[in-house]
C-alpha cells in the first residue's frame, strides 16, 4: 500500500488465564499485560486503587514489507 499506514492490535481478556500462556501460544511479545488480582497502576506506574478483575494481553502486529 502506498501512502497508507495502519496498525493492527490483537487483544485478549480472560477472567483468570496466565498471560504468559498467551505469549507462549502465539509466539508474540505483548506491549501491555496484567494478570487477574494484580494491583492496578496508571500508565506512568503510579498505584491505583484496587486490583485487576481479569487478565489482559495486547500486542501490536506490524505488517511485513
Q: Please give the distance of CA 13 from its chain centroid, rounded to a whole number.
A: 9
- Which residues, 6+ apart, have CB-to-CB distance to 2 below 8 Å? none
Q: What's the pLDDT tens digit per position in 15-64?
A: 999 999 999 999 999 999 999 999 999 989 999 999 999 999 999 988 77
Q: What pTM was estimated for this model as a whole?
A: 0.81
| Cell matching residue 16 | 483468570
Q: With beta carbons less than 8 A apart as the criterion, state whether 17 and 52 touch.
A: no
Amino acid at each position: 500500500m502506498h501512502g497508507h499506514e495502519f496498525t493492527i492490535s490483537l487483544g485478549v481478556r480472560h477472567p483468570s488465564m496466565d498471560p504468559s500462556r498467551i505469549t507462549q501460544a502465539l509466539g508474540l511479545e505483548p506491549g501491555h499485560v496484567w494478570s487477574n488480582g494484580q494491583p492496578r497502576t496508571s500508565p506512568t506506574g503510579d498505584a491505583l486503587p484496587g486490583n485487576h478483575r481479569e487478565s489482559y494481553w495486547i500486542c501490536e502486529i506490524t505488517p511485513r514489507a
